[in-house]
Amino acid sequence: MNNPIIQRELIGTLRQPRAMIFMVTALAALGALVVLRWPSDGLVGAAEDGGVDQAGEVLRVFAYGMMVAVMLLVPAFPASSIVKERQKGTLALLLNSPLTPLTIYVGKLVAALGFVLLMLVATLPLAAACHAMGGVSGANLLSLYGVLAVAAVQYATLALWVSSRATSIDAAMRITYAGVLLLGIVALAPQQFIGNLVGAGTAGALEWISSLSPLPGVTYVLGLDLGAAAAIAEIDVRQFLLLGGLSSALFAGLTIQRLGQRMLDAPRPHGRVTDERSNTEKALRRIMYLWFFDPARRAELIGPLTNPVMVKEFRARRFGRSGWIMRLIALCLIVSLALMLLATVIAGQQVEAEYRGIEQQGAITVLLQVALIVLLTPTLASGLISTERETGGWQLLQVTPMSPLRIVVGKLLSVALILALVLLATLPGYIVLIAADLDQALRVMDVIVTLVLTALLSLMLSATVSSLFSRTAVSTTISYALLVSICLVPMLVWLAEDAPFTRATVESVLRYNPLAAALNVINARQFADYDLVPFNWNFMLVASAGLCLILIVQTWRLTRPR
């Protein structure tokens, strides 16, 4: 504790109201999970025929809840640690102090992990309750906390690295949660969906990729036999400990390397005038950005029927620029077609008749689109209102003759159009899917409806959260936490089907999950037998309408004179 960074950062974090809110919310949720699985008659049932006893059921629900809490809460504080110093102007003072870059980094890392350590210590009574039921050894609990500790270090080092390179707090939050989602969830997709369709060498590589996520480590420690996801349950926990340690060391090394005088003295790129480039470079730029996206068109006047708020959002936002939009669309198009090309190759090399490469690749395309929606929507929509209030732009909107409804519509359209273009860029993959199997046409239509409703729900949720908070970083964090919870928490219940949750319980929970509904209508192997649609569509429509009403009312309240 002699490190002044630890004292300042840790005490400052614990004094923030959101730290207490995060900890109390996490403990309340974990306590509710344990209480819900606690035996009502006071007797603990033993395992029968190799099944799962009640003590094991309580521990497993508690373990999954702890893992979700680590993924959602750990990155929140270190992601803003270094970039906040830059914005306040104290980073130069810190780097010119007698402290070395290593000392600065260790102080910030320990301060970030100190909050996590307090949260883990606060959960010990819940773990003791699981142990008191019997059937749960102390070794299992120690191994579980070891996996969670490695995951916490991995996500904290990732957040600090992103914070050292980001230029704003909200950008650091967005990129950090995108990295957590990539390491914790997306890394599991290849092994789960195509692990049975590829050779032994490729399957081994996919297994190591899945080991980047703490989920296989938790399931291995608990000895859980996942019927729905048996492939990831067989991964050794040592693989996660190894990869988690190596990735943490890599992120730490990159961050320490940036913490120096060169971090502040880095020159801006000189750039090159387009006319000075060679003819080959000019041709490549025309192909990349397409000739009809002319930046000079930004100088045109806003039409009388055009929403000026929408135009303002497009011109002020990086993702509103034509160059970035074309890059994003081109990337989605290439990935979508590449997945379907891989599907046709795998379909011709099927090992078992029950596995259909085309359908599995359709499921991966769905995962890609939902991941894009979850990652991209808060990036665009979580600052629609909060950024205006934080930068003082909201006062300018108040003095305009525009109504609150027109302001809301303009801001929502600026995000909805980009989301629509991204979703359209992935549709060629479905065209290939229909060409390979005409019976997939109706399923593809249902998938498109599900994805559109998912994008609508994500947009309305992020925009509503943005209207409720005056800080963009806070609204971004809460938007990501809510969207990830909606898409992730039901999946954890699905992974524990029959151990301990019944099929009826799992189906009831999955009905509220947009990702599960999309996989269900595409007839993914693990979700084909559930009945999720049209209940899920109705839920997303009603929820979106309710959020829209809250957004309009809150915007009207903010536009009133004060």
For residue 47, the model assigns a pLDDT of 45
Q: Give 497's strand partners.
A: 501
pTM: predicted TM-score of the whole model, two decimal places: 0.70
Give yes or no: residues 356 and 224 share one domain: no
DSSP state of 37: T
> Using 50, 70 and 90 to split pLDDT, how confident is the model at 456?
very high
3-state secondary structure of 204: helix
Say if residue 507's pLDDT is above 80: yes
* Rounded CA Rg of the chain: 25
Clarify whether residues 462 and 541 are in a common domain: yes
Could you give the percent of the chain with pLDDT greater than 70? 69
Cis peptide upstream of residue 500 (ω within 30 degrees of 0): yes
For 528, the token pair is 């084909």
- Return the pLDDT at 338: 67
Q: φ and ψ at 273, to 5 degrees?
A: -70, 140
Q: How many CB atoms lie within 10 A of CB 70?
A: 25
Say if 84 falls within a structural domain: yes
Asked whether residue 291 is assigned to any structural domain, the reply reads: no
Stretch 537-543: mean pLDDT: 93
Last residue within a domain, chosen from 230, 261, 292: 261
Task: Write down which residue in 192, 227, 261 finishes a domain.
Answer: 261
- Considering the domain architecture, whether residues 335 and 438 belong to the same structural domain is answered as yes
Verify that 322 and 241 share a domain, yes or no.
Answer: no
- For position 251, what pLDDT does the model report? 92
Indicate whether 188 belongs to any domain.
yes
- What single string gives the DSSP state of each residue in 419-481? HHHHHHHTHHHHHHHHHH-GGGHHHHHHHHHHHHHHHHHHHHHHHHHHHH-S-HHHHHHHHHH
> Does residue 223 have a pLDDT over 90?
no
- What is the DSSP code (8-state) at residue 123? T
Tell me: pLDDT of 546 over 90.
Answer: yes
Residue 428 and residue 345 share a domain: yes
Note whether 367 and 251 are same-domain residues: no
- 49-53, 63-67, 81-85: which range is least confident on average? 49-53
Cα–Cα distances in angstroms (integers) from residue 376 to residues 319, 333, 382, 416, in the given order = 10, 16, 10, 11
- Determine the longest span between alpha carbons in the chain, in angstroms: 81
Is pLDDT above 70 for 186?
Answer: yes
249 and 355 together in one domain = no
Total domains in the chain come to 2
Q: Fill in the amino acid letter for 253.
A: G
Q: Is residue 296 part of a domain?
A: no
pLDDT at 107 over 80: yes
User: What's CA 63's distance to the chain center, in Å?
Assistant: 20
Are 76 and 221 members of one domain?
yes
The pLDDT value given to residue 38? 64
Q: How far apart are CA 547 and CA 540, in angstroms?
A: 10
- Determine, yes or no, domain membership for 300: no
Query: 257 and 136 in one domain?
Result: yes
- Under the banding of pLDDT at 50, 70 and 90, the label for residue 352 is very low
**Residues 30 and 170 both lie in one domain:** yes
Residue 285 located in a structural domain = no
Supply the pLDDT for residue 158. 93
Same-domain check for residues 337 and 452: yes
Per-residue tokens: 256: 């320490």
457: pLDDT strictly greater than 90 = yes
Write the pLDDT tens digit of every residue in 29-56: 777 766 766 665 555 544 444 434 555 6
Least Cα distance to 457 among 515, 407, 411 occurs for: 515
Instruction: Check residue 226 and give its pLDDT.
Output: 45
DSSP assignments along 465-522, one per residue: HHHH-S-HHHHHHHHHHHHHHHHHHHHHHHHTBTTTB-HHHHHHHHTT-HHHHHHHHT
Instruction: Give residue 153's pLDDT.
Output: 92
Q: Is residue 281 part of a domain?
A: no
Q: Compute the 3-state secondary structure of the chain and give helix, strand, coil in percent, each to the nearest 5.
A: 75, 0, 25
Determine the pLDDT at residue 459. 92
- Residue ending a domain, among 261, 280, 295, is 261
Determine the structural domain holding residue 224 and report its residue range: 4-40+49-261
* Nearest Cα residue to 159 out of 538, 540, 417, 477: 477
Q: Does residue 547 form part of some domain?
A: yes
Average pLDDT over the chain, rounded to an integer: 75
What secondary structure, in 3-state letters, does 213-280 show?
A: CHHHHHHHHHCCCCCCCHHHHCCCHHHHHHHHHHHHHHHHHHHHHHCCHHHHHCCCCCCCCHHHCCHH
Positive or negative, the CA dihedral 1, 110, 34, 137 is negative
Contact 535, 511 (CB under 8 A): yes
pLDDT band for 154, please (50, 70, 90 cuts).
Answer: very high
pLDDT for 319 equals 55
Same-domain check for residues 163 and 249: yes
Is the pLDDT at 240 greater than 80, yes or no?
yes
- Span 411-453, pLDDT tens digits: 888 888 888 877 777 777 677 667 666 766 777 888 889 989 9
